[in-house]
Structures are given as structure tokens and as C-alpha cells.
Structure 1
Amino acid sequence: MSDYDIPLYLYPRPRVVASKCLEFESVRYNGSLVRCPTVRDLIPFVDFITVCPEVEIGLGIPRETIRIVKINGQKRLIQPKTNHDLTDEMDNFTDQFLKALPPVDGFIFKSGSPTIGVRNIKIYSEKEKGFVIDHGAGFFADKIVKRYAEYPLEEDDRLRNSIIRHHFLTKLFTFADLRSVKESGSIEKLELFHKYNRFLFRLYNCDMCIKLDELIANRSSSGFDKILPEYEKLIVEMFHRSPGSKDFIRVANEIISKVSSSSSLSNVSSLEDADKGYLNCIIKKYEDNLLSCDALLDILRLYVMRFSDSKEEFSRLFFPYPEELKNEVEPDRDRDFWENFPIPNNSDQDQTIKNQ
């Protein structure tokens, strides 16, 4: 590693529960497999626990569709074609699944599923011809959400959004990191975890990061077992929301200030004014939505690589998860948009005029 590299805190292998129909097996009600780019990209980096609740309770492939129906004020899982009430079977399977589930770091489920869908699942008034009277989570997913509400949990369709995907992956690898630290029982590993994540935490919530700083500062007197529960609680609360543009602008200014004031490199003073002017212009372009977040971070990373004496605390800000998981920025960059719409040459135009 050269002096200009950002030191990386080694990534763990997150443990993720996923719908079996997403890239793994053709277990949908119609016997199909669902393509999910995020799941496909994660396979080399993640240990998946896959599940299809409907198959697990004995329904075949393919199978008649099922739906959630509200009967006498209670939600029931019904297969209209057979009039089969699957509620008790699904509840029993879900309870057993949760009981046997090892420590995990996140979940990716199939949108729209009456069992494993998380959001906006239709609830009907009658078994067959009823209309939609409510929305909620699927039967299996509902118990997962109640137990793991604070964890990274998304559906395949939402992960097509680049902002949602980035936040999910950042949170997932952070939770996996913290689980590894927790299992180690090592105060030194907790200190290292905090050091490499510090500016990522400042991005998400500056006030909570200060509280985390204080916990780490008191590590010698408090000990691992006393610090960790409060530390873990703050991390969970910190990731309730993803950072917005104002958070990125705040952290960008913090980075510029910190690097400028702390660097001992002799050439910083001569470049300081020019660098600051350029970086302020870059931040203004980002503020005006004329520059992407990734571009802002790449420029800040170059500044840190060149001038910072302590690069470790920026590591997870710039690399929150393996770079191989980043989305393509311009998937259609080399597409020929004029291939099927050639511009007519002058002779074509002259001929058209003559024909008229």
C-alpha cells in the first residue's frame, strides 16, 4: 500500500436471509425464477440463507395463488381455488424458522408476495371476488419485520433504486462488521471498527458519532461488556435514515477543515488557498445538483489521499462496501442512439423534394 492509499478495514461476509425465488431457484407460484441484480451481485460476498415459505409448507410448483383475506376482523392466508386456509401452517413454519435462525445481518424479500413481501401487500375483503380493503406485510414477512425491524431489510424492486441500494449495502456491511466485533468480545476490535467508520458515522448523524466517540474514549474504565450494548443501540438508531445532500455538504466541509488543519505535509500551505477554492466550487456544484455524490466523494478522497496524515477514519466513508458492488454509473454509455434513426444526407432530401 502506498502513502496515497486509503487503508481498508477488511469486509466481513454478511449473513442475509433472501427469498429463494430471487436468483436461486424457480419456486414462484408459476414456476419462474425472478432476476434481482442486487442479489446476483452479492452472491460472491454474502452467505445467503434462502427460503420460500409457500414451498416449505408443502405447496407445489407451480401452485394456485394465495391471498390475505380479512375474515371477522382477522387476517387469514387463503388459497381461493381450493378454499384452503393456510394460516396456521404458515404461522407454525415461521415460528420454527425464526427459532432456528442464526445471527443474521439483513434480509432481501420478494415484493408483492402475500407471504414474504414486506410492503404494500394487498389484503382482501373476501376469498375470491373481494376487493382490496387494506395493505400490510406478508404473513411470513410480518413476523420477521416485528423481530428485525431495525435491520437492513428490503424488497427486490426497491433495490433497483440506486440510493436505496447504496443505503442498504452500507447498513448491511456495517451491521456485519459490528456482529463480528460483538462475537470477538474484543475492545481492541471495537476501537478499530470505530476508527475506520468514524467519518461514515459523522455523515449519518454527527451528534450520535460524538456519543460513540465518548464511549470509545471511556473504553478502558468501562470495559467491552458495558460499552457494547449502548454502542450497538446508537449504531442502530443512527441508520434509521439515509443521509441527504445537506449531510454530504457538512461532511465535505469537515473533511476539508480537518485535513487542512492537521496535515504536516510541507506543500499543503502553498496549495491550501487554491485547493480550498477549488473544493468550495465542487461543493457548490454538488449543492446545486450539478455534480453527483460519487463524484464529490471521489474528489474528497483524492484530497485525503494527498494531504491527510491519518487516513483510517475516512476508510468506510469512501468504501462502505466492496467496490465490486457499486452500480454502473452510465449503463447505456456506449449505446448508439442513432443506429435506427440515421440522419438523411442531402441527396435523400433532394430526391424527396423532386418527388413532391
Structure 2
Amino acid sequence: MTTAPLRLGISRCLLGDEVRFDGGHKRDNFLTDVLGPYVEWVPVCPEVEAGLGTPREAMRLVGDPAHPRLLTIKSGRDHTRVLEKMTTGRLAELGNLDLSGYVFKSGSPSCGVERVRVYTDQARPSHHGLGIFARAFTEHFPLIPVEEEGRLGDASLRENFIERVFCYRRYQDLLHNGVTRQALVRFHTIHKYLLLAHSTQHYHALGRLVGQAEHYRPKELAFKYGELFMEALAVKATVRKHVNVLQHILGYFKTTLGVSQKAELLGVISDYHQGLTPLIVPITLIKHYVGLFDVGYIREQVYLNPHPKELLLRNHV
């Protein structure tokens, strides 16, 4: 599915390394045992790499949620500057590793990307902060998919994140091979139904961009497409959108399927629509018919194989 290693950054504690403030870890079995065989992890612990040691005094974010300081809870020592210095150097290193995604530790004052507590003058902490390292990473690499391990417990969020990771790797391959108009047209074509499962609006906007490719320099075109492409995939795919895509694909078989075959496929699509079966059921039947009737255009669609089937992601959505 890719021509280069699928390399992901990750908070070291999630791999089982004992680098947390209390000397413990937060090993995540899905990441290590299920996803691990398909990726090359790049472990990072900003606090340890900043020289703060293990174990260490617990810390929290304090002040303005947009520009918080990192202070130890009991002694009040300010470690903001040392962490920011480490972050600048580490981001430069990560920029050379061609990362396709990053999994951060939830709630961490250095690594959290969702609802991190920031203590202000008010009695209650704000829950709108980002970890200092995570904020810098997302600003420096705006297109790279990121997620927290806690949110990956949700089947739909897990499937979406890993789908985006594999899609971003394909986009990186496109860049490495040279963005010609022909290559971009093909890339856009094979991602058609995957994009439609997320956002029709984005799909059409991307189509217009491809149609106007000659008006852009190659690097500018590549960035504009990548920005819209990743933005589209971040839009939530819903059952209704998947059903619409499945019905569109069904149209390619209208002259080849027999009456009973068509009824069977319509039946499993309906079952999926009603929540009686997961998405993998109609997808598997469609793939069977694609092979049986050699429907090349559909066979090439990334929608049918966005990530390794062994991950079982579509068995739960």
C-alpha cells in the first residue's frame, strides 16, 4: 500500500517505556500489538529529552491557555523554557523522518492535544489547552494526522485516524515521485469514493483544483491539494455517507449482476444502514463482485482497501 516505511511519532510511555513523572508507563496494547507490526514507531518523551528526569515532580500548565507555562505543582519551578528549547531541536529532527502520523499521550501538559487542563486565576482550570510540545508539533506539521491514545478507544475515531495515516503516506509518495498533472489526476481518481464518504464539498473542490493544475507551480499545487485532501478526510464519515457511496458503486454492476445477486447486495447495504451489520460486510461483497466481474475502476478505489484488513477497523464501524 505504500512505498516507504509508515513512520509514526508516539509518546514513549505508550510503548511501555517507564518515562512518566511517577516512573511508570501507559503501554497501549492496540498501538503496540495490533498497529505496531504495520508501522515504524519514533518514540519521543519531551520531558525526559528536556532533561527533567524520571521520576520527576508532577507538572501542570498555568496561565493563558494559548501561551501557558509549565510549572511543577509543589515547588512551582518553571520548566517552560527548557521544554521549548528541546521542542525546537526535536521538531527539526522529526522533520527529516518523513512522519505519516503521531499518537500523543492524552492529558499530558507536554503532549496532550485535546482538553488539556490549564490552571488560571479562576477557581476551576480551563479544559481548552494543548500540551506545549503537541501544540508546537501541530503548528509545525499542520498536515500530519495526530491523535491521542485515549480517543483511539472509540472505533470510529480509530478507523478515521488510521485511514488518514495511510492516506497521508500515499500523499507523501505522490510528492516524492513528483507531482505531475497526470499523477495528481490518478491520485484524485483512486481516492474518489473515499473522499465522498467524508465530504462531497471537498471532493468537488479538489476536482476543480486538479482541473486548474496548469495555473499552479508544482510545489504550490501539491500543497494546496494536500491541505484540502487532509481537511476532507478529517470530516467525519457517517453511515449515511457510506450508504450513498455503496449505492454509487452498485451502479457499476447494474448490467452484470443477476437479480438475486443485486438483491443480496442491496440487502447487506440496507442491513448496514440499519446498524445490523458493520461496514466490512457490504465492502467484502462488493470486493467479491469486483473480482468476479473484473471491474477495474472500482478495484483501484482506495475506499475498498484504505488500510490493512488485518487491523479489523471496519468490523466495528
TM-score range, shorter chain: 0.7 to 0.9
Q: Deviations over 1:68-93 (max 9, x none)?
A: 12289962211123331111111222
- Hey, what does 1:37 align to over in structure 2? 29
Matches within 5 A, 1:186-197: 186-187=179-180, 189-197=183-191
**AA partner of residue 23 (structure 2):** G
* Residue 50 (structure 1) aligned with residue 36 (structure 2): no
Q: Deviations over 1:84-136 (max 9, x none)?
A: 1111111222122223322422110001111111111112247xxx9532121
CA distance in 1, matches of 2:64, 2:178: 49
CA distance in 1, matches of 2:66, 2:201: 44
CA distance in 2, matches of 1:279, 1:244: 19
| Worse-superposed segment, 18-27 or 295-304 | 295-304
Q: The residue matched to 1:253 in structure 2 has which SS? A: helix
- Hey, what does 2:131 align to over in structure 1? 138
Shift, 1:192, TM fit: 4.4
CA distance in 2, matches of 1:254, 1:151: 30
Report the TM-score when normalising by structure 2. 0.86
CA distance in 2, matches of 1:207, 1:55: 44
- Hey, what does 2:276 align to over in structure 1? 290
Q: Select the structure with the greater relative contact order (CA < 8 A; seq sep ≥ 6).
A: 1
Q: The residue matched to 2:117 in structure 1 has which SS? A: strand
Q: Residues 222 and 58 from structure 1, CA distance in 2 versus in 1: closer, same or farther, beyond 3 angstroms?
A: closer
CA distance in 2, matches of 1:210, 1:328: 26
User: After TM superposition, where is structure 1 displaced by more than 6 Å over at least 4 residues in a row?
Assistant: 71-74, 217-223
Number of corresponding residues: 311
- Hey, what does 2:232 align to over in structure 1? 238
Which stretches in structure 2 are left out of the alignment for 5+ residues? Answer: none
| Worse-superposed segment, 138-147 or 85-94 | 138-147
Shift, 1:280, TM fit: 2.2
Kept after mapping to 1: 8 A contact 2:61/2:117? yes
Q: Which one has a bigger Cα radius of gyration?
A: 1
- Hey, what does 2:265 align to over in structure 1? 279
- Hey, what does 1:3 align to over in structure 2? none
CA distance in 1, matches of 2:109, 2:223: 35
CA distance in 2, matches of 1:194, 1:43: 29
Q: Deviations over 1:180-205 (max 9, x none)?
A: 11022153554543343332223223
**AA partner of residue 230 (structure 2):** V
Which stretches in structure 1 are left out of the alignment for 5+ residues? Answer: 1-8, 262-267, 331-356
* Residue 119 (structure 1) aligned with residue 107 (structure 2): no
* Residue 260 (structure 1) aligned with residue 260 (structure 2): no
- Hey, what does 2:292 align to over in structure 1? 306
Report the TM-score when normalising by structure 1. 0.77
**Residue of 289, 308, 311 corresponding to 1:322:** 308
CA distance in 1, matches of 2:2, 2:87: 34
